[in-house]
Amino acid sequence: MLKHEVALAILDVNMPGMDGFELAELMRGSPRTAHVPIIFLTATAQDASRTFRGYEAGAVDFLYKPFDSRILNSKVDVFIQMERQKQQLATQLATVQQLLDSNEMLMAVLGHDLRTPLSAVIASAEYLARFVKDENVANIGTRIKSSGMRMVCMVDQLLNLARLCGGRVTLQPRAVELMTLARNIIEEYEARVGKGCMFLLPQGDTLLQGDGDLLSQVLSNLIGNALQHGHEGSAIQVRLEGREEDVCIIVQNAGEIPSDVMPTIFAPYRSGRRQSDSSGLGLGLYITREIAQMHGGDVKAYFTADTGTRFEVTLPRVPRPHSGDRPDMAQPFRLS
């Protein structure tokens, strides 16, 4: 057993020198054989104490002689099939882990290699938009810059998705002031789109324990989503409501979520619009929900004709495990 793979050990209880119970105890003492199932055979009359000792030693069954060979063969076949399935699962797990590692490495390489030319494209486009007097050329520069920024966002989303799928994202909780995070994110967006359309409305204590980098991404995803899908020029409200046990982030705008999109809005590769109208990868809301649930919170979406679109992220003051159901993620997905 120390040299070969064993699916099942059939031990006679009464053996010279070392009985079956002692051999079972030796097996349990070795990591290689500790999980090998054991069937004990014995000609001794049935005794509850001996039977209990057998199961305590790791037996999965106890057969008394004379035994029916057909029954024993059937039991052996079951354990052989179980061992084969275990080996297949181990192989599949190793393959899946290798694919996840390859995906993450691919995304990291793409992220690094794409960012350099994208930065040059965006900088050149901004130069055209600012300093070239020809209005047509300036407009082209603005469009190139907008497309380049969208590509940067897509690269970031793919990298984040690869890390989430590979289990590489871990919480590093510390004291986080959400109002400060929200103000910084809003200022970043205002530098791109101008001031006057985003309003921060804090209420109560917005200090909590969380991963500041991940929560910044939640705010950035929701505000960016509101800018992209909201009505042009409409106001975007970012409300922070500090409550006794949690803090709620509410991002509201005048955008519209179609009724057929709402049930799967947090699924990966979807977006706040129909697929034919989507201009992005549809990963921002999925990543937002993953981060919220990593903190033990959740995110919900609402739409009414009167109030527009509203996303609410509820975060506990201290991160806790989340055990909510996720019906829209019943089927696994992979990176291709």
CB 251 within 8 A of CB 310: yes
Q: What pLDDT, in 10s, does the model give residues 113-161?
A: 777 788 888 888 888 888 888 888 888 888 888 788 777 777 776 676 6
Q: Answer whether residue 334 shows pLDDT above 50.
A: no
Q: Could you tell me if 224 and 305 lie in one domain?
A: yes
Same-domain check for residues 97 and 137: yes
Average pLDDT of span 50-69:
76
Amino acid occupying residue 213: D
d(C-alpha 81, C-alpha 332), whole Å:
26
Assess whether 222 and 286 both reside in one domain: yes
pTM: 0.56
Is there a single domain that holds both residue 241 and residue 266?
A: yes
Residue with tokens 């054989």: 33
Percentage of the chain beyond pLDDT 70 is 81
- Residue 149: CATH number of its domain: 1.10.287
Residues 314 and 188 in one domain: yes
315 and 193 in a common domain: yes
Q: Is residue 73 part of a domain?
A: no
Residue 3 lies inside a defined structural domain of this protein? no
Domain that holds residue 46: 9-67
Cα radius of gyration (the chain) = 30
pLDDT of residue 183: 92
What integer pLDDT is reported at residue 275 of this predicted model? 44
Q: Any idea which of 12-21, 98-107, 277-286 has the lowest mean pLDDT? A: 277-286
pLDDT in tens, 36-53: 888 888 877 666 666 666
Which of the four pLDDT bands, split at 50, 70 and 90, describes residue 198? very high
Q: Are strands 207-210 and 236-242 parallel, antiparallel or unpaired?
A: unpaired
Q: Is it true that the peptide bond before 66 is cis, omega within 30 degrees of 0?
A: yes
Domain membership of residue 40 (yes or no) is yes
User: Residue 60: pLDDT above 70?
Assistant: yes
Confidence of residue 315 (pLDDT cuts 50, 70, 90): very high
- pLDDT for 196 equals 84
> What pLDDT, on the 0 to 100 scale, is given for residue 85?
92
Contact 125, 148 (CB under 8 A): yes
